[in-house]
Every structure is written in structure tokens, then in C-alpha cells.
Structure 1
């Protein structure tokens, strides 16, 4: 139970930062506007830095035994970096690198210390609470309050207990290659969504309440642990396909479906790398997965300025259909108590 609570706090803390800062959050946008910096340029460089931080962590973190202490140090430095961005918004680029270290270390914690049949719920609870926090404290506040409130959840990590990571050299699970195509597709389309679909929704006064996603992801987390990764993820893909097909004719249903679909897809993409990990290579495995996610969002966001509809709709539906077919043909990753016992036996 202690490990599940720790995992949820890690996801919650990082999620609050992500929503308020890195992914076009209100703190980052306000800083950029105050200094007259192009937000599109800034987000691109943050993602380049973020990918570099993930790659750095993937190469080195499996050798770090006292990983929780490293997370705490990185969280403190991240707070200082966010505060520095109030003086010079370009400091946000450094925060991307630090966040890359934190997300890989946190993902390796989920892989090593949270049992597979609870990972979906643990991630969903942390992500849902982060969205609730965003709704309650980070919408409509003055900039000074936003800076303070966006960094407070990061400090919760300082209260977490110690968990050591016994070092053992192990190769990565080669099955992860088969999951890279669907995950890259999901978040490439997600990056395009940020650049193409979200502005259309806003222009038409359509805003899906953040609490809808917060509740939907709780349902998704339960379903992943109850019915497995493959079947549940295919439902998420179907929702996303329907959203792209409906856009831009049926904007309201499209907006709700895209939020529902990413509630399912976010849980899948953030726990599948933990499920696939071999004992001793969790950071490398999770880092490789996060490079896929971060780079696909980055490329999708860049492409959003050059692609449009209806060509994009047809291509998106084809790619998502192929992704669902590919996932359906794959072996279910480690999720059962019996599989977990065998996994522990490989230490």
C-alpha cells in the first residue's frame, strides 16, 4: 500500500507541473506573453530539452540505487527553475531537461515497486487528482498565485519514504518495439490536436470541462487493471478515431470524445513501458517509451502548422485503425500475479 500511495503522489506532483507549465500551461503562457516570447518557439525548445533529459536518464538511472533521493533533489531544482522562469522565461527550457529525469525515475518506480494489477489505478488516481488541483487552484488566478500553486505539489515528494533499487544488469524487453508505432501515432495526433483542433474548439466556444477527463481517467485506470491492456486500449483508439472523423462537422461530440479517448490512451502509454520492463532495466525501458511519447508530441505540434482537414481526418483514421490491429495481435504484457511472481524470480 505504501508503494501505491507513493506512486500516486509522484504522478500527481508531476501532473500538476505538466498542466500548469510544460504543456502550454497558464504559468508558461503568462511568462511568455509578459516577455513577448513566441510560445510556439518556447514549447518546441522545452520538448527538445525534455527529450534530452529522458535520454540522459535512460542511459544512467538503472545504476542509481537511491533513486527516490534523486527524485527529491530534481524536484527542488525544478521548483527553482520555474521560479527563475519568472525572471527569464528561457529558464523554462532547462525545466524540460529536469522533468525528463523525473518522469523516467518515477516510471521506473512504478515498474519496480507497484504491482502490475494496480498500476492503472495508481497512475489514474494521481493524474485525476492533478486535474482536480488544476481546476480548483490554477484556473483564473493571478500570475503570482499561479507560480506558487504550480510548484507546491512538487514539494510533496520530499515527504515520500525511501525505496532502494537493487542494481542488476538486464537487457530491455524487445517487445517494446511493437508498441512504439501505436503510441507514436497516438501522440503525434495529440500534438496535431493541440495545434489544429483546440483553436477551433475555442473559437466556437466549446470547452470540455477538465473534470470530465478527471473522472474518465479513473474509469480507464480501473478497466486497464480489471480487463487488461489490449482490450481497454482498443476502446480508447476507437474513441479517438470517432473524434477525428466527426471533426470539424460535429464539434461538441468530437471535443468530448477526444478527451475521453486520451483518458484511456494516457493510462495505457504511461504504464505499458513498466509492464514490459525486465528487472534491472526499468529506467532504460521507461526512458525509451517516454522518448517515443515526447518526440511524437513534439513532431505533431510542429506539423500542426502545416497540416489540415479533410486530408488529416482520413489519414488519422487509417493510422488509428492500423494501431488497433497491431495492439490486438500482440501478447498481453505482464499483468497477472502469476506473471509478476515469475518476473520477481528473474532478480
Structure 2
């Protein structure tokens, strides 16, 4: 999720992979950052990810360990002092799989994706700012109302309103179609006060977090939709997705065809278990992000019915999406081109 779908070539850095994928670097979120010496909004480095989510150690463990070794501490003790909570080696020794992180993904409803994909620069900025604030609101709610630490097989519990989150922005799905969404990788380590009153690191009650996934997603959707509608003067209408279940509130005026254009997999992709990867035609991409180079070329081009269908939908959307800017600047052109661009997208 740090650089999209697929695998990186051996030796390629995370930063290079993100640039090739046309994705921004990840950023740190959450109140728990202070205990680790991290700053909210700062860029997530590859080494920090390896240490925190790969080894369960402090993100600055290399420096800490070197300092301890210089002070004469033995290597095993120096390494142990950089571990947050229970070492993963102890967990694996019990033949259990360590759980160091959980991916909470936030995405707007399809009609907002259409507006973001085909609106002008001002519309995109409004939607992206609303998206960022809605993600922050959902994470704050999880911290304030949900997050708890558990230990001693659940006999010990404590409120822990300070999560550590690595957030990664994606801009399309696995078929290269527009899909603004945020992967929030929540660290399964939080601080609480120990019996001696000193802070100790332990695990989250992950079951409690998963119980509140839908509520967090609903809060995100409500916050984002409200801000976008109030800022752009839009309204919402109910849209039935599954008969008998609560409808989804979509932006009024966005047609079913356009919603399906960004929200429904193409026919050749339906019915595959788990949405299996496949070579796909290139989808459009915002101009502010670097186009993705394709190592294998493109599938589909002139005369491709699927491409022509998407072009027709995009053309119709460009005619109906409201413009929030009257500057006439060239940056107000729709961010998603229907002409071929290199490299498939990710979700």
C-alpha cells in the first residue's frame, strides 16, 4: 500500500517506487507520534516503516542502538531496549503470527470521485481538503472513543487515545480508473501507564477497533460530504446500492452511468476471485502527479470498446461537473485525460 499494487524491483527505494507510481509519499498522523519523537504530517521513510511495522521497534532504533552500544551496553540488550512492547520473536516462538499493523482505508462515495476526477482545480482542492479533514476526524474519533490497550489475555485494559498512523494517498484503483482514497496503517502498539506509573508499550484491542470500522467510515463520509456540499453549494440524494439496505447518499446531478464508470469493475474483471490483477488499459491521471511509466506498454487503444465507453462517460461528466473557479486558468481543465497515458494504477 505504500506505493500501490504489485512488487518493487530488488534494490529500488520506496521513494523511487512512489515517484514511478505517481503517488505522494506517506505521512505520519495520530497523537501517539509524540512518544516516538515523530511529527504529525512528516514524511514516512522506508526505514521507519521497516522498523515499526516490520520489526516492532522504535522508528529511530538504529540511532538509539548505536548510542547504547557506545555506552557499553551489550548488543542483545541494546536491541531489546528499542523494541516496543513484546518482541515479535517471543510471539513467533509460541507459533503465533505477530500483528503489527491494521489498514483502515477511507474513500468517498462514487459521485464525489467523479467530481474530483473531472472537476476543475478548485473543485479538486475542495474535495481533497475535505477528504484530509474527514480522515483526521475519523482517526480522532477512534482515538477518543475506541482505542484501548489490552494485556494479560484481556484481563487488563486501559484507554489509550494516542494512535500511530502511517497514511498513504492513492488516486486510482487496480484498473487505473480514478479513485481517491487513503490507506491508514495503524500501528498495533500504544503507550499506557504501567504498574509503576511509567509509560509502557503494549498492543491495541484490535477486535474493538474492527467492531467500529463501519462507524468510523460513516463519520468520514458524513464529514467529507457535508464540507464539500456546503463549500460548493451541492446537495445529496439517496441511491440504492443493495435492495433492503440503507441507501448511499450521492451528489445530486451525477448520473448512474458516471457513478458506474468509477464504481463498477469493467466486464472482463468481474467474477474474478479477490479482484485478481490483470493487464489493463491505462486510466486517466491527475496532471499534478507524474505519469506512471509502463514496462509492458498499453492494452487497449483506438477501437477498444471499453476505452471508447470510458471516453464517452468522461466527456459527459466534463460537461456536467460544476466549476468552482471562473479564472479561466489552464489548470482548471479536468485532471483526468481520456487519452492513453503510461502505466496501470493501483488501489
**TM-score, normalised with respect to structure 2:** 0.24
Larger Rg: 2
Kindly indicate which of the two structures has a greater share of residues assigned to strand. 2
Kindly indicate which of the two structures has a greater share of residues assigned to helix. 1
**TM-score, normalised with respect to structure 1:** 0.24
